[in-house]
């Protein structure tokens, strides 16, 4: 096959990407993957990967196609896997089914795959091509890709502010700066994230649950999943002073809580789902950098951060934020109100962190802004 793709190829790959999105809330720590099998211009099989341990997208598509898969072209959003894990390698499954061609949106950076899947296909005489709608495929799995490439999660920092860049009144009152639609939008990000990061200061001030509130998710998401099938993210709380108590709202949701701090701590009286992460940095590494590496080691793909100005500023200053997601409310809180984030003092404008706007759209009466580090 040549590297030149037709408009029909793009149409089939887009369908595979649409299928992959059906696993974006549930597939982690695995990537969300879709597959479409086409023969004589007709779709004969479709599939997506729902969650770890379930059949991969290629397996689902091959099951639907049956014997008709022989001689077909497979459009898959990620290079077929090449290793035995909870399921057999998909590259071998495509070979055994007699597929003639494979078009992948992108290679898999997982060291267990990383070209080996394409190698299995080539050894069997199956032609393959890579790169069709690659950017779309990378966007869908940016958390998984970053963890595979850096051993750290993709970090999204959520901030809610007034027009004048304030997050709360001087006395700490902040409910609610943004409207109901913006808060519902946040629930989708929480649901897609592997973990939510906050601090004991935020927990003490607001006693939040930091969970996914099912009733606030869009109707199309509720229609796609049963409530019990939509996983709750791990809650990670920075708590070096050990102020978090087991009677807080955090512990009312049935999902793990990882408390993190610098010193040893025994979790006497805490639920069994609670763990303590003692952060011991390597030389030249900060505690936050150590935390990110540990979360990656624990297969956290995407980390959603909801915290105060201190942690927000520290994450930005240490270049640990991949994406800023800002909700701006049509309000002015005044110069006595609390600031958005606390950054180290800068002496030159040229030293200010520069961000690139990716999205600007209204969410109810609020404005959502998404930036990536430039």
The active-site residue, picked from 11, 24, 58, 173, is 58
- Give the chain's radius of gyration (CA, Å): 23
**Which tokens sit at 80?**
């077929």
Active site residue 294: no
Q: Helices 57-65 and 7-20: crossing angle, nearest 10°? A: 110
- The contacts of residue 301 (CB under 8 Å, 6+ apart) are 28, 29, 143, 144, 146, 147, 153, 154, 194
Q: What are phi and psi of 363, to 5 degrees?
A: -130, 100
How far apart are the C-alpha atoms of 160 and 194, rounded to whole Å?
A: 21
Q: Helices 90-97 and 116-123: crossing angle, nearest 10°? A: 20
**Which tokens sit at 300?**
């956290």
Q: What is the DSSP string of 140-188?
A: HTHHHHHHHHHSS-EEEEEEEE-TTSEEE-TT---TTSS-HHHHHHHHH
How far apart are the C-alpha atoms of 322 and 138, rounded to whole Å?
A: 14
Active site residues: 58
């Amino acid at each position: 096959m040549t590297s030149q793709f037709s408009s029909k190829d793009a149409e089939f790959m887009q369908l595979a990407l649409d299928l992959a999105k059906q696993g974006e809330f549930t597939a982690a720590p695995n990537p969300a993957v879709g597959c479409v099998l086409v023969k004589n211009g007709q779709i004969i099989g479709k599939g997506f990967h729902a969650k770890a341990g379930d059949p991969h997208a290629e397996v689902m598509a091959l099951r639907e196609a049956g014997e008709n898969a022989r001689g077909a072209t497979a459009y898959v959003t990620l290079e077929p896997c090449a290793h035995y894990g909870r399921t057999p390698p998909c590259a071998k499954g495509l070979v055994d089914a007699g597929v003639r061609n494979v078009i992948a949106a992108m290679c898999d950076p997982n060291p267990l795959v990383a070209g080996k899947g394409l190698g299995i296909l080539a050894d069997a005489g199956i032609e393959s091509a890579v790169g069709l709608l690659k950017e779309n495929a990378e966007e869908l799995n940016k958390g998984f890709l970053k963890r595979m490439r850096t051993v750290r999660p993709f970090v999204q920092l959520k901030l809610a502010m007034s027009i004048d860049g304030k997050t709360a009144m001087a006395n700490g009152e902040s409910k609610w700066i943004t409207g109901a639609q913006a808060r519902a939008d946040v629930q989708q990000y929480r649901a897609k994230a592997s973990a939510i990061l906050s601090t004991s200061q935020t927990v003490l001030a607001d006693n939040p649950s930091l969970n996914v509130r099912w009733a606030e998710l869009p109707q199309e998401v509720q229609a796609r999943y049963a409530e019990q099938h939509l996983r709750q993210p791990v809650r990670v709380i920075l708590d070096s002073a050990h102020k978090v108590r087991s009677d807080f709202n955090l512990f009312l949701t049935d999902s793990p809580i990882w408390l993190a701090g610098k010193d040893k701590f025994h979790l006497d009286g805490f639920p069994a789902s609670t763990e303590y992460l003692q952060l011991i940095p390597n030389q030249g590494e900060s505690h936050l950098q150590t935390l990110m590496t540990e979360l990656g080691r624990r297969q956290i793909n995407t980390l959603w951060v909801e915290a105060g100005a201190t942690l927000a500023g520290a994450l930005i200053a240490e270049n640990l934020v991949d994406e800023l997601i800002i909700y701006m409310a049509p309000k002015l809180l005044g110069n006595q109100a609390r600031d958005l984030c606390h950054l180290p003092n800068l002496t030159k404008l040229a030293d200010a962190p520069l961000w690139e706007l990716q999205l600007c759209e209204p969410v109810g009466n609020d404005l959502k802004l998404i930036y990536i580090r430039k």
